[in-house]
Amino acid sequence: MKKIVVAVLLALSLAAVVHAEESGKESTDAPKAAPQSQKDECILNSKDCGDQALSIQTKIDRLKQEIEKGTRVYTPQEIQKLKNRLKAAEDVLDELLFHPTNY
């Protein structure tokens, strides 16, 4: 039970970090690489997610898919943002899988 609570808290804290990162700096002078419809706004900016809750593994898979689209869809700044989120999600997964006794 304790592991489940810790996993949920880690997932929530990851979501908070992602949201705080978005609120930080937004560059208005960056050119758009592609129409917004090709971008996954839920993964990129936590917008238009509806009520969907992604597992950590699903989020990692979707981030990798979006990063693969490259500059034909995303600006270099957005790709870096996606890579940072991927790293954070992989760190959480690693912590849950390989260091569960720390909690």
Say what the pTM is.
0.59
For residues 18 and 56, the answer to whether their CB atoms sit within 8 Å is no
Phi (first) and psi of residue 31, to 5 degrees: -70, 150
| Residue at token pair 């700044």 | 77
Quick check: 9 pLDDT over 60? no
Enumerate the domain spans of the chain: 2-24+43-102
Give the single-character DSSP code of 47.
-
| Listed range (17-21, 60-64, 78-82) with the worst mean pLDDT | 17-21
For residues 96 and 2, the answer to whether their CB atoms sit within 8 Å is no
